[in-house]
Amino acid sequence: MDDHVPGGVYLCQVDKQISCGACCGLYNVADPSLDALMEMLTYRTDAFARIPRDIDPILAFKEETEARESQKRPFPEFHHCPYIGLVGRKRLRVGCLLHPLAEGNKGIDLRGLSFYGGMACRAYFCPSYYHLPRILKEIVRKVVRDWYLYGLVITELKMLTVFFEEVERRLNQPITKEDIIENDNCFEAVRQFLDLKLHWPFRVRTSIGLCNYFFKDQLYPKPPVNYEAIGETTSMYDTIFRELVSSFGSVNELRKAEDLVDGIIERLSFGISLNSRIGVCT
């Protein structure tokens, strides 16, 4: 537990490879693929390392970065910070190039030069801090492979909540972190679900892409799934489908999507149940 953050679990900088830059607008770019982001972040990090840590060069870096990169945004009013780059000794995760602990800053906090200012960077916590159950935060932090997927899924508050609530409903009991972390089959089932964020075959082909607008103002709500177009009623997995920005061209596609999600939930539920029975027997 971390008593210094809302909800008791720190989500921003987790370990050497896991961190989140979603609130900095990291994924609010024309091409949010891993390769494109790595190219962008690597260039920024290298370029920022060469500039003096004075106000004018830092502000000039911002201007040059924005001139070099496309400013086409899926969510135009969601600020994308040009000062997000790669941090850590081996540059294995994303983070703020202006942070006092970032390489070359010598403990000086330069975040006051960012768009929202230093106080916002220090004090803002995304809705997942406040509303995602502690157990789910801890599970996601452990299961994800890298910063790229972590930043995409940790803000998916509704999708994560509904998924694990359905697992608990089938088990008729709360899950624990140990249910997932200490069971390889369950661990892989959760990872398979999180991977849907990257590889969902029924995602609408729109400019929204992978980016999630998670702020309270609801400026860019995710579109509802049009079940009427295929003569169907609302799916029991509607919340998950909507959060994944889904569209189904036929009843057959809808059934495939339902079977895919249901199969993961069933695999996870069965794995937890089986492990519990084995534990009782031993």
- Give per-residue pLDDT as tens, 198-223: 999 999 987 577 999 999 898 999 99
Looking at 78, 107, 125, the residue that finishes a domain is 125
Whether 38 maps to a domain, the answer reads yes
- Same domain membership, residue 216 and residue 256: yes
In Å, what is the CA distance from 142 to each residue of 6, 59, 89, 121, 146?
19, 37, 21, 25, 10
**% of the chain surpassing 70 pLDDT:** 96
- Do residue 23 and residue 107 come from a single domain? yes
| pLDDT of 205 | 80
Same domain, 62 and 160: no
- Please check whether residues 184 and 151 belong to one and the same domain: yes
Considering only CA atoms, which of 208, 209, 201 is closest in space to residue 253? 201
Residue pointed to by tokens 């895919």: 260
Using only C-alpha atoms, the chain has a radius of gyration, in whole angstroms, of 20
Domain boundaries, position 92 = 7-125
Residue with tokens 């295929």: 230
pLDDT score for 1: 66
Select the highest-mean-pLDDT range: 28-37, 115-124, 199-208.
Answer: 28-37
Cβ-contact 2, 9 below 8 angstroms? yes
Residue 185 corresponds to which tokens in the numbers above? 């089959």
Is 47 in the same domain as 154?
A: no
| 249 token code pair | 């061209």
Residue 19 β-bridge partners: 13
Tell me which residue of 60, 128, 19 sits closest to 83, measured CA to CA. 60
Does 179 lie in the same domain as 195?
yes
Domain boundary among 107, 125, 143: 125
Residue 94 contacts residue 146 (beta carbons within 8 Å): no
pLDDT at 98 over 60: yes
Number of domains forming the structure of the chain: 2
Residue 251 has pLDDT above 60, yes or no: yes
Tell me the β-bridge partners of 86. Answer: 94
Asked whether residue 167 is assigned to any structural domain, the reply reads: yes
Residue 55 lies inside a defined structural domain of this protein: yes
One domain, residues 118 and 136:
no
Query: Which one of 88, 105, 125 terminates a domain?
Result: 125
* Structure-block tokens of residue 101: 């602990």
278 or 273: which carries more pLDDT confidence?
273
Q: Is 1 within a domain?
A: no
Give yes or no: residues 121 and 211 share one domain: no
Q: How many residues appear in the chain?
A: 282
Residue 59, C-beta contacts closer than 8 angstroms, at least 6 positions apart: 113
Is 200 found in the same domain as 87? no
Q: Is residue 120 part of a domain?
A: yes
List helix spans (H) across 50-156: 55-68, 117-123, 127-131, 134-143, 147-153
Q: Is the pLDDT of residue 60 over 70?
A: yes
In a shared domain, residues 80 and 24: yes
Is position 2 within any domain? Answer: no
Q: Which two tokens stand for residue 228?
A: 């009427």
Q: Is residue 77 part of a domain?
A: yes
